[in-house]
Chains A and B, each alone.
Chain A
Amino acid sequence: MIDLLTGTLSTAVLAGGVLALAALGEVLAERVGVTNLGVEGLMSLGAVIAIITVVATPDPWLGLLAATLAGAVGGMVFAFATVIVRANQVLCGLAVTFLGLGLSASVGHDYAGVPSPATFGRVPIPGLSALPVIGPAFFGQNLPVYLIYLVLPGLAHWVMFHTRHGLAMRAVGENPAAADAAGLPVTALRFWYVTLGAGLAGAAGGYLTLTYVPVWSEGLIAGRGWIALALVIFAGYRPFGATLSGLLFGLITALSFVGQARNWPIAPAFLNMLPYLGTIAFIIVPVVVWHRMRRIMAAPAALGVPYHRDVR
């Protein structure tokens, strides 16, 4: 029983890390007022680039870096269209998803089914990893886990809510006209945070193929990008909210694995539906049950609206 609990929690941390990282990236983009619906495509691109990189040079860190850069380049293309040209964000996001899924499948055609030659190994933290259940799950993992669950959200939270720069960033997402009048570089802030967020989405894809599913196949991302987008809403656009909801959904995913491994009398197809159905329930139920949630969890006021200085 203890083994089962430990295994479930370990899987949850890994599966959730992918979602948490992508969701954190999207939090950054949406806080400056840009909805990037291309996460699914960017993750796919990151996943395949990571595999291709480690096949060439078997260093997982290089793979993760390449995946991040691939995501960031895709993000720059998206940011050019949505922030500089100011085209419709929904359309450009869908286009990036199509492009990312299509390109990664074309590029990865020769790599389909090739197992990743290098993955992140476990680095147990002495002492802590000996704790029952939570020890192996939280302190016996690979190094990027700490980056995803502690360092990155901590950094994002500190910058966002405890620095002047963070105030500027949030102002751009809430009221770009006022931010502009105060002398803040609206376009630059939006462009770079969208790029950074897309880089994290690429990294999330790379993290997936370098740890948890170490083999490329078409359709590998399987809606994780869209779940990450939903988690941003559920997380109330907060960095640690994104991390925690990522972990929660990792648990739901792990649960469906446990069900399959232990032959629960439910068809695997239905267990596989759990993360999707769970996400839908989690974004609908809170606003229905508790109306004040709508204000606490409200989206940045200028989310999805392109900013034109000359149009009031």
Chain B
Amino acid sequence: MAGTLQRLPTVTPGRRLAWRAGAVVTALAITTLFLALSGRDPRLLADLVVRSTVGSRFGLEDLALFLTPLLLTGAAVTVTGRIGVWNIGAEGQFYAGAIGATAVGLYLPGPAWLVLPLMAANGIACGMGWILVPALARAYAGVNEIITTLLLNFVAGLLTTYLAVGPWHDRVTGALASTGRLPVRIPEIWGVVHWGFPIALAVVLGLAWLTTRTRWGYQITISGANEQAARYAGMKVRARILGVMLLSGGLAALAGVFEVAGTVHRLQGGLANNFGYFGIVVAVLARGSCLNVLPAALLMAFILNAGIVLQTEQLTASAVLAITGLVLFMIAIADELAHYRPVTIRAEARP
């Protein structure tokens, strides 16, 4: 009798979920260990985290505000993943959307019912424009989209800061490094939670239908699974890649529109708050399914919200980034380990 490991080609959802739960628990255990070593009481912190996230009304409102952009950036990275493309530039498209919305909001006077949709439309168009060059290069020249989309994030960040402290700078108060307060805002529905939240939910559900129940979604899935086969079947793979990437840019941009018009109300440097990067984590957790974006974004929003609470306890904002990295790392390992199954080989079965 000898024990060995066998690699399974596919993994059942339950098995994967169990491994992933183990990964998240491990990551959180390591974090707790670090906190305990640095002289903090983990139980007190845990209590504080629960009270200020799911344990109170204000906590829940904050959770929904975090959830809104994460749903959209998570969906943005998920849809490109379905065709085998990584959009690491959601952060930049988020900024582009915020810039597009702010331009309309600041310089187009009018009633809110007219200006808000125009802000959204212009923001989405800007986000699509922001991803256009990487999308064309990927679809028609095979240029690595990970690097092109990512580098544009830095350009978008610089452009946002430039606009906020330069030409669009608030001349009324003058002190803040931001634009003036937008004259229109997305109306609230529950406390500080605005209409962006239900719209983001609806968009994700709509995408789930689009990607799994339509001809277009089917072609995306096939093109992502086997480009050659898709091409032989007469599908326009390149046009699909371009279309999906533009859609992705528009989704990330919508997150930026909601953030600037619903939550922050002015354009400022650092507005995107890493939401674009955390969208990648959401997409990884969701594993290509738009429906899974809902629970994945919820987990991510919880981690971010908990991180804000921990910051009041002298933990830096960057600690949250490190914790997120650890969770992602553990999940990547667990996803692979879930493929293995111990088997025993009998003596006579051996050659």
Contacts and interface: CB of A to CB of B under 8 A. Distances in A.
Contacts of A223: 150-151, 153-154
A252 B7 CA distance: 49
Most chain B beta carbons < 10 A, residue from A86, A95, A100, A233: A95
A279 B151 contact: yes
Contact of A102 (B150, B319, B336): B319
B326 A81 contact: no
B152 A101 contact: no
Interface in A268-312: 269-270, 272-273, 276-277, 279-280, 283-284, 287-288, 294, 306, 308, 310-311
Dominant secondary structure of chain B at its interface with chain A: helix
A220 interface: no
Contact of A98 (B151, B158, B162, B328): B328
B328 A94 contact: yes
A100 B329 CA distance: 12
Interface stretch (B40-48, B139-147, B233-241, B288-296): B139-147
B322 interface: yes
Interface string A82-124: 0001111011101111111111111001000000000000000
Interface in B271-325: 277, 280, 284, 315-325
A102 B335 contact: no
A98 B325 contact: yes
Contacts of A226: 147, 150-151
Contacts of B155: 273, 276-277
B178 to A, nearest CB: 15
Interface string A28-61: 0000000001000100000000000000000000
Contacts of B137: 284, 288
B333 A81 contact: yes
Given A98-B325, A280-B148, A283-B147, A106 B86 contact: no
Given A86-B336, A105-B316, A284-B133, A99 B331 contact: no
Given A218-B318, A308-B7, A87 B333 contact: yes
A101 B318 contact: yes
Interface string B161-197: 1100010000000000000000000000000000000
A101 B134 CA distance: 25
Contact of B144 (A81, A233, A270, A311): A233
A41 B133 CA distance: 26
Given A230-B151, A287-B142, A269 B159 contact: yes
A123 B277 CA distance: 42
A94 B7 CA distance: 25
B331 A91 contact: yes
For this complex, into which size category does the number of interface residues on chain A fall?
A: 35 or more
Contacts of B336: 85-88, 306
Contacts, number: 141
Nearest to B136: A284
B332 A99 contact: no
A64 interface: no
Contacts of B141: 284, 287-288
A94 B274 CA distance: 13
Given A95-B332, A233-B147, A294-B142, A280 B325 contact: no
B283 to A, nearest CB: 10
Contacts of B143: 283-284, 287
A182 interface: no
Contacts of B331: 91
Given A88-B332, A276-B151, A267 B316 contact: no
22 contacts: A85-B336, A86-B336, A90-B86, A91-B329, A92-B329, A92-B332, A95-B326, A95-B329, A101-B318, A102-B319, A102-B320, A102-B322, A103-B322, A105-B316, A267-B166, A270-B158, A276-B155, A280-B133, A280-B151, A283-B143, A283-B144, A311-B7
Given A85-B337, A230-B144, 19 more contacts: A81-B333, A86-B336, A92-B333, A96-B329, A97-B325, A99-B329, A101-B318, A101-B321, A102-B324, A102-B325, A105-B317, A106-B318, A222-B154, A227-B151, A267-B166, A269-B161, A273-B159, A284-B141, A287-B143
| 7 nearest A-B pairs in the assembled complex, by CB-CB distance | A102-B322, A98-B325, A105-B318, A99-B325, A102-B321, A269-B162, A95-B329
Interface of B: 7, 9, 86, 88, 133-134, 137, 141-144, 146-148, 150-155, 158-159, 161-162, 166, 277, 280, 284, 315-326, 328-329, 331-333, 335-337
